[in-house]
Amino acid sequence: MERKVTLITGCSSGLGRRLCILLAEKGYLVVATARDISKIEEVPANIKLEMDVTDEKSIKNAMETVIRQYGRIDILINNAGYSVRSAIEEIDLKEMSKMFEVNVYGVIRMIQAVAPYMRKQNSGKIINIGSISGKLTSYVNGSYCASKHAIEAISDAARMELQSFGIQVSVIEPGAINTEFFNTLSINSDEKMKNSKSPYIGLYQKDLNYRKKQKRADARKAAEDIYKRLKKKKLKARYKIAVPPIFNLMIILPDVVREKMMLK
């Protein structure tokens, strides 16, 4: 197998880190990136780069390093992302803007960075890690869901625009995965959600209680499921990973029924 040059964003923890480990085991030429390079020192990768998806200069420098080393980029996995929870009325727009810079604009910046190289090759795969939240909006999570809804639209548009150049674009829609994502979520959100004076304290408490008992998929298994899709010659537009059957049902239910189920 020709060793595929694969750049992954957000490799310091969670799914990104697991994908680095797995793809390195499978013989891919892995380019691991993170804002803090010290956090990926132990990640098995051919190249480890400090890169911030909100910083165009750092993206440009990273891409130049990859092209100088290998002369091509075969696969981009847009994995970097995080969540801030709040009711829409109470969301801090500055916090929401920062999240969109990573979750949405970061994905666009990376596509813009790799597309010219992939177009010259007349080949390439772009895998955007979205979320089932991009299809199924929940209360006190509207801003994060909005960012993942955006990834659905961005992926669809980019797929139609790039396919004539031999570039495939697919979006992965994971359910809850047992990673540091939820620890970061708690750090970003729980203090506000425990404010007893908030008119939304009832919904906040529901969400906090649900997260304590929420079943989450194994990160290694999720990475393996993504790998199985990644190695296919022809990618589908989207793949659901680690999504409970009830969520698949809820997506197709009438709005009023779905919302009642979500609130329960």
pLDDT at 1: 57
Q: From residue 95, how far is each of 79, 143, 205, 207 by CA, in Å? A: 19, 10, 21, 19
C-alpha Rg value of the chain to the nearest Å: 19
Give the 3-state secondary structure of residue 96.
helix
Are 76 and 111 in contact by the 8 Å Cβ rule? The answer is: yes
Distance CA(126)–CA(170), nearest Å, equals 6
* Band of pLDDT at residue 30, cut at 50, 70 and 90: very high
pLDDT > 90 fraction of the chain, expressed in percent and rounded: 97
Catalytic residue positions, numbered: 144
Could you give the CA distance from residue 128 to residue 172 in angstroms, rounded to a whole number?
6
Residue with the larger pLDDT of the pair 147 and 262: 147
The token duo for 205 is 């408490």
The structure tokens 């509207």 sit at 142
- pLDDT higher than 90, residue 257: yes
Cβ density class 139-156: b for 16+ within 10 Å, e for less:
bbbbbbbbbbbbbbebbe
The reported pTM is 0.95
* DSSP secondary structure, 31-80, as one string: EEEESSGGGGTTS--SEEEE--TT-HHHHHHHHHHHHHHHS---EEEE--
Domains in the chain: ranges and CATH: 5-263 (3.40.50.720)
123-145, pLDDT tens digit by residue?
999 999 999 999 999 999 999 99
- pLDDT surpasses 70 at 161: yes
Nearest to 83 by CA among 189, 179, 159, 225: 189
Average pLDDT over residues 197-223: 95
